[in-house]
A and B are shown apart, each in its own frame.
Chain A
């Protein structure tokens, strides 16, 4: 595996293909577009299919079909496009079809959308939020593994800094361990035997084999998400042991926060940082431990306060939680605005340390 200078989108495409993705369908929407272009360029040579779908709804449903037929499959978009896909993401969560959705988001306002979904049913969506291109490459491969391990859609939540930054990366195959047998895949050979297969949200089985039925099936799916919540939460943290102040951030914004917090540490402040790597499952127990003893828990995110809810639920002392982020996006809608800036973040943290904090 050689090291290459690649744009984030191309690196993610290479990682997806390395992870065995053989079907991709998507509808252009910046900053996701680069990934679609990369896939359309690279996937056919790898023996796969990339369809420039006529809408996000068609794209995600093609992916549902391809995944039900056994292919590692993926789609993507951002914000409004992901909103159109939510109906099918929910359906896939409930009929247990694994695929990956690349949300190359324009900002951090997709947090609720990714972690709470917009579909129907007792489901959750595993969401990974890489902090840079290198981690996005690793997360891409992990996403396909988790999707198949749990038979559920997985969202990789990137942003313009990940999609459009050119970095030197190595895309090497990863081994995440064994996967369960794929005895549910529709391959067309079950017909006429009395044992034909079906992929169906209601799981009522064939007339000859009634299946679990909706109640038991949906309960089992909900139990599965409970099990994922207990085992798959990932996070990173530093200096939280003696911290009076813990700053929580995710995605590329967390890189800026980490830089500023390290500066303030060096200047003698008892401050640490905490980064949820998985937004769902949210690493709540880890956050509770990290914030025990902290007088301030500051949440920096580029929206009106969405992860703030999860931090409030899990922080050791919810009255210590303050929001220091805000809506911040360039007028083009395609890049972060003024707040994604180390001096601006430093000002907000310092203001909180000296008593004041933005609402």
Chain B
């Protein structure tokens, strides 16, 4: 298994202080066709973030000098699009929620399944490419009378302009990527929040309701963000 051609040569920063794990990951990611840069601690990680140009960052939580939470927060404060994957031995729900809340896109607990990790990385890089394509063409995602700029998260619904939160943008982005397909709450929780479905599925409903308020002409009778009874949601942006 190697990464698709369009993703080969993507630069990944790996911030991990466990030497043998880092060597193993570096080997596997390089075999996939990615270019890997390894930082051995939090301080080195921040230096590399400041100077390097990366497509994805993998960060451990328990790091010398600066922990993974701090680093994730720092990355997110500078770049809303940078895919960040937390790879850690800490498996408590508090840590997962904190990591995702600080802006990580994915949270993988050690020991992990190699194939699963590589697929997650590939998916994150695909999303990043999607962002970049938008940036290149200068296009804004449009549906109906709405415009969404996923780069700065600025939106316009008719005359009204506003800014989405990163999580709202991620949800909308996932729906847009999977438009005209029924998506279950479970799938949204797993892919947008990176949480298992044991966690309150009501979170999804709350966020969908927010999107309806922003973009639907009549949120009570949605035309874009439709509910599918017993199945989940379907996003129909129209032409």
Q: Do A and B come from one complex?
A: no
Chain B residues in contact with chain A, CB under 8 A?
none
